Structure 1
């Protein structure tokens, strides 16, 4: 639900500054409409009405109005609503209000499911609503999460002594360790207050949510919004008993795997051993790509966490809009239903995955990352209705594409096949199909004849005819392999031309 106080607070951040508000009560808005002549006015609807018809709005005592197109000094008689300057068009005002409302609704949904959110994403999204710097810090001034403002001003994960002394009085900070509601803490160097909320785990002070009063005129609203955010942050810690989604066990491993994927050949064995990864273990790389409709900006950290829960012995990385999961197969428990759970995860999150072949060691990670991407590409091309693609299942399409990467199809296929197809066209025969069926059955004449519904002797005559026309020597293993691959190339390209 949108309130007039919130609209007044937010409009300047959307570029609409010349407004004049008045509300006898804090009007709540459930719908926004453009006023039309003669319509019945309803409660909790914000009507946009032109200035020249302002008298309609001035007669009402309870309904909410936005009067647009006003001169610089309008006569203010609306009880609940606001006036906007004539420099703002109706479409701009309407679009701004709708965007403002959608941003608030999105934030409220995120708060509702905050237990599944990453702290950094939650703070980034909340900064647009609260319009204040946001962070979560422990009592040693280590940042557990930072919004964009804190990330830019304090790029390190911990404040140094001078920064602590400049930011707040350290003694005051520690004296508030037992406060269990939102409280104010004066900043030492600026004329404003920090908004603070303590996080307790098992009854012990653990961390503090930090914001600040940026506009004293809207202090009550800012504190109300900050309180809602603080409760959501608290639920993340209380219900999940975690310090952050990036735990100490995995942070150094992530950095190491990132380096290996970037092409670094030698791993820091101390890091790998500490995380129980060995060069003798078997691994597999998996890439997850998500539908364009999925809200990646808000959801990527949630998916990251869920994937890590699915493969707890893996290393999960975020690369742009994809997730990369390097699985340690040697450390994973043998869970028979992981494929089923993986399928559910992919379907629920509108995602597809490509997996590399299994391999030993981790020095060739970039090669197997490329395999995973190839599996995803080939799988979506050849079986678009599947969810998970293994590179080994698409080796034939991969080889088919590679075979014609440098030379054209007519330059690499055995020329005898083109002779057969031309002969079949002229004579209305089916020698090419006979040869293909024979090769498909591994050179077994009896099975081939049964498949073609002809006598075995008739098949042998056709094979003799094929040999006399093309010079193909089926008794030679290498040539039979070449002809077989040529048939497969022709059929593959024929199927992908449709």
Structure 2
């Protein structure tokens, strides 16, 4: 971790530090990583803060160009404020300390920040819990920290002693969050309005919030996160703003490795896993979680399950794969469940067909590493677990009957699956041919009767004359309906297996007393 003279001056404030040399605006970037003794004949590095005793500076002292000096003692104006160097003058004052003591004090500042940086780097590398990283950050700032999501729900906090903080419980997720009044007070503050235009750090005073607080955006995430540093122990200075920039970068790395960034919410992942465990969740709660992803329950989705033959159980590798998939496929969400990698794709939001989505994922299906099972297209997350079972069924049947292929669509293997398990594992309505479901939805919306037209046509063995007579319609009307049906279901009705599958779907609906779509 590199620091600058602003940080050193604040840490050594007991020695009445005074800045000289270049303007502060030119030297706010962190550029120093250690302290050394100044020798005029030695080669000087811009990354070292050189300590020099004021007693050794005379009228003939020529300030080196572009370096950083920490002058210990009173220079009596021998160093001009216009010198092209970054200079910090440390007046020993009444303190009975030697130059060596001051040098050690300087060195201790670097050691402090290097130790914190080492702890943070180690925590990120071992995928430490967010709570642990925020606890280390608390030592960095000397103040409590909270990480909020875009709705100001608390994702993590390092200190629970913030008595003045007004929190409420989000009834949908049981998470603690700021009250609506508090959020409105923050967003109406002048500093927040100014900072929000440039995604900058903003300072909100106690007039608008329970504590003087720095709000720092954690950039690089599709779903915006905000770090809050609250003034309870140490004053929030410009240095704390600089540290907030550094720490938000650490959080970005940590959240990336823990798969929280890039729009990937652990809460949404936990929500999907609850659905996979067949936990009953109210529709309003489902809608709330989907809204956080800017998704709708009525959008068309596809679920793909990747099954690996060789597993390296290092979380960072898992997360890299998930991150790559989400970058490759717009409007997708990838996560691990029961040693499988699952990817949900919002086809409507991504403006993709099922074929397009599978083609884009094919680069991850390398020979000997991944096999994939693909579900039907679905639109209701309350039935999410059935479509996961479809992907597992596709993998099982595909590997049994087509072991040399790598991608198995449940639609191609549903007959095989039914012959093995019937409807004992998957609800009969979720074994229906997708075309039957699409026709049912179309009829419901448009008050048509295409579903029964198709059934009559198949019952008559594809004979248009007999079908028209059975339905009491003209043959041209039948041909118009069949053309409409083909445009909806995109299925080859000349294929005997397709016809059998569709007729079985009608049988599922009749015998089990179901509809193709759950009401």
Higher helix proportion, which one? 1
TM-score range, shorter chain: 0.3 to 0.5
> TM-score, normalised on structure 2?
0.37
